[in-house]
Structure 1
């Protein structure tokens, strides 16, 4: 089971804080550093000192780390046009020496759009499908050839389809719990399917849907990596778990029901249930980015017990 660190900077984190977490992620042996793509905090967080842009952040981290994979859960499709987005991601991939992974979602948080003057279209899923076709099409066009696309939402004519990423194929992540269209989209475009904040039982059902859709599309079901994202709150004892829960404004009982909370042994056991459901990768949502001891504990007493 791969463990990856997943951050939510819109809740309140500047670049230096994210850099410290990314360096700890690398030093402690985790597989990757991922971040959300939001411009407005959620819940009671004040979001200070203000939002950071996902791909500008990852560009900086690409030059200040050397091993970990870097990516988004998920880039908001409403924030960027697909052509410039393909350029941005390809550039960050080159800056990192080929360590980028590209998660793309439809976008859903309407308030952040109105707050920053970003259009919030009604037909987001149709746009997402075209965005995936365009971004992967631009990257996959052989050098010296051009790429054109005529869709309902986007049109590209004779694009030189440059620059190319450093990797021959940037891993593409698709995710969600939609029962029909989402599995079909993953089967067509994804290298990884991610299930956010769901139970092991619901995850098993969704993984089965995606596996079936992948086979129907003419691929092997195991061509995709299946992953989950869950909030993490781990402590050496009950008092430490409670302290970490308070720091992120959550209740221990709720965290144990919906996330990865409790002692290292409890968390290892719960991760095992997701592994039995078909997942081989876990994104640990870390909400208190000042608590690097939390990452050290997870590395030492959770990651070390997983196979």
Structure 2
């Protein structure tokens, strides 16, 4: 079971904070550092000092880390034109020596679009499908040849399809709870399918849909990696769990029901139950980015039992 660290910087984090967490992620043996792609805080937190851009952040981290994978859960398709996004991701992949992964979603948080003057189109899913075809098509175009795409929302003519990523294939992540269109899209474009904040039962159901869609599309179901994103709140005892829950404004019982919370033994047991329904990787949502002891505990007492 791979464990990856997943952050939500729109809730309040500077680049320096993210760099500190990314370096801890690397030093403590986690597989990857991922971040959300949002420009507005959610809930009652003040969000200070304000948002950081996902791909600018990852570009910086690409030069200041050595081993860990770097990516987004999920880049909002509404924020960037697909041709521009292909250039950005390819460049960051080069800067990292081939360690980048692209999670791409339709975008959903209307308030952040209003706050920063970003168009919020109605037909986001149809746009996402074209975006995936364009981004992957640009990267796959042979050097020296051009790429054309004439769709409903985007039109590319004689694109040189440059630059190329360092990796022969940048892993593409698609995720969500949708019962029909999401599995179909994952089956066509994804290297990894991720379901965020889902119960074990819902996870098993959605993984089954994606596996079936892959087979219908002529791909082996096992060609995809299957993953979860779950909030983490681990403590060496009940008091430490309660303290960490209070810091992020959550209740222990709710965290245990909906995430990975409790003692290391409790968390290892629950991860095992996700693994039993097909999860191969878990993104641990870490909301208190100043609590590096939390990461150390997960590394030494949870991750060590999963290898």
Interval containing the TM-score (normalised by the shorter chain): over 0.9
Aligned equivalent of 2:185: 185
Aligned equivalent of 1:106: 106
Aligned equivalent of 2:139: 139
CA drift of 1:40 comes to: 0.3
Matches of 2:45 and 2:154 in 1, distance apart? 36
Q: SS where residue 300 of structure 1 aligns? A: helix
CA drift of 1:77 comes to: 0.3
Matches of 1:273 and 1:128 in 2, distance apart? 32
Matches of 1:120 and 1:45 in 2, distance apart? 24
CA drift of 1:286 comes to: 0.1
Aligned equivalent of 2:292: 292
CA drift of 1:109 comes to: 0.2
Runs of 4+ in 1 over 6 A off after TM superposition: none
CA drift of 1:129 comes to: 0.3
CA drift of 1:250 comes to: 0.2
Aligned equivalent of 1:74: 74
CA drift of 1:234 comes to: 0.1
Q: How does 1:199-278 map to 2 (within 5 A)?
A: 199-278=199-278
Matches of 1:186 and 1:273 in 2, distance apart? 24
CA drift of 1:305 comes to: 0.5
CA drift of 1:186 comes to: 0.3
CA drift of 1:261 comes to: 0.2
* Runs of at least 5 residues in structure 2 that lack an aligned partner in the other structure: none
Aligned equivalent of 1:279: 279
Q: How does 1:52-201 map to 2 (within 5 A)?
A: 52-201=52-201
Per-residue deviation, residues 36-55 of structure 1 (Å, max 9, x unmatched): 00000000111100000000
Matches of 1:179 and 1:261 in 2, distance apart? 28
CA drift of 1:96 comes to: 0.0
Q: SS where residue 278 of structure 1 aligns? A: coil
Matches of 2:62 and 2:107 in 1, distance apart? 24
CA RMSD across the alignment: 0.4
* Runs of at least 5 residues in structure 1 that lack an aligned partner in the other structure: none
Q: SS where residue 118 of structure 2 aligns? A: coil
Q: How does 1:29-40 map to 2 (within 5 A)?
A: 29-40=29-40
Matches of 2:274 and 2:101 in 1, distance apart? 22
Q: SS where residue 182 of structure 2 aligns? A: helix
Aligned equivalent of 1:2: 2
Q: SS where residue 302 of structure 1 aligns? A: helix
CA drift of 1:205 comes to: 0.5
How many residues end up aligned between the 2 structures? 307
